[in-house]
A = this chain, B = another copy of it.
Amino acid sequence: MRPPPWKVGELAKRTGVSVRALHHYDEIGLLSPSHRSGAGYRLYTEIDVARLQQIRSLRALGFSLEEARDFLKRPEVTPDRVLQLHVAHLKEQIAAQQSLADRLEQVARRWRSDENVPTEEFLQIIEVTNMIGKYYTSEQMEQLKQRGEMLGADHIRQAEAEWPELMAKVQAEMDRGTDPADERVQALARRWKELVEEFTGGDPGIAKSVGRMWQEETTIHGMDTGNMRSLMGYVQKAWAAAPKE
């Protein structure tokens, strides 16, 4: 296991990725080992390991192998960016799973008491169960990727810059106790929504999940999380209070 060119079986044993999978990644040009021995043995280096990690993280996000390959081609995709995405996704999953677990426990309790659970409960459970692990669905990813390309890197950066600013303003209104229905707050909430939509391509499903992702992202840019949740709550109230269009 020691000496850092590893043979395929060694890498497989250490990572839990099957030999066949590594062969497959090589075949499709997703991860080709940096070296081959004289006899044609695949030899993987640290660089290959790092790339494999990126790949597995992206797969955990729901990327297909092809999407992962394309994504890793893009120059702005740095290793820590991938890690951040993975972390954001995990936190999202955790939140969703936590609430589902609570719900399931309730239903189980109810079932044990009177064996009579309304079908509506089951319908909702099915829906939520499906959503978990599917948060970034393939079409959603499609849109995300397209948007990412269409907006261009600098556009994205601009949005990134606007977020903290916008959040600071919202925070100010919140501290001041302004009613979420107030026009000033409404304007901020609208802008918030626009920013989200700009990034998501207007898909409401993706908006929900990516909303939280942005929350993470901007957290990383130097803000605190507990607070953020209350901010989100405030904005949501504002949306709820909005005159319908």
| Residues of chain A having any CB pair with chain B under 8 Å | 4, 14-17, 46, 49-50, 52-53, 56-57, 60, 79-80, 83-84, 86-87, 90-91, 93-94, 97-98, 100-101, 104-105, 107-108, 111-112, 117, 119, 122-123, 125-127, 129-133
Please tell me how many copies of the chain the complex holds. Answer: 2
CA–CA, A14 and B120, complex, Å: 10
The residue that A53 contacts in the complex, of B14, B49, B125, with Cβ under 8 A, is B125
Contacts of A104 in B (CB 8 A): 83, 86-87, 90
The residue that A130 contacts in the complex, of B15, B94, B107, B127, with Cβ under 8 A, is B15
Contacts of A97 in B (CB 8 A): 90, 93-94, 97
The residue that A108 contacts in the complex, of B4, B16, B49, B84, with Cβ under 8 A, is B84
Asked if A122 and B53 make an inter-chain contact with CB atoms under 8 angstroms apart, the answer reads: yes
15 new A-B contacts, CB < 8 A, other than A46-B122, A83-B107, are: A16-B126, A16-B127, A17-B126, A50-B117, A50-B119, A56-B125, A57-B125, A60-B132, A83-B111, A87-B101, A90-B97, A90-B98, A93-B93, A94-B94, A133-B133
Measured between C-beta atoms, what is the minimum distance from A166 to chain B in Å?
25
The residue that A91 contacts in the complex, of B90, B101, B132, with Cβ under 8 A, is B101
Q: A53-B122, A119-B49 are in contact. Are A87 and B112 (CB under 8 A)?
A: no
Interface of A, secondary structure class, is helix
Asked if A101 and B105 make an inter-chain contact with CB atoms under 8 angstroms apart, the answer reads: no
Asked if A122 and B49 make an inter-chain contact with CB atoms under 8 angstroms apart, the answer reads: yes
CA–CA, A49 and B86, complex, Å: 34
Measured between C-beta atoms, what is the minimum distance from A63 to chain B in Å?
13
The residue that A119 contacts in the complex, of B4, B105, B117, with Cβ under 8 A, is B4
Asked if B87 and A122 make an inter-chain contact with CB atoms under 8 angstroms apart, the answer reads: no
Contacts of A100 in B (CB 8 A): 90
Measured between C-beta atoms, what is the minimum distance from A180 to chain B in Å?
30
- Please name the residue on chain B nearest to A21 by beta carbon: B130
**Most chain B beta-carbon neighbours within 10 Å: one of A17, A83, A94, A130:** A83
Contacts of A16 in B (CB 8 A): 126-127, 130-131
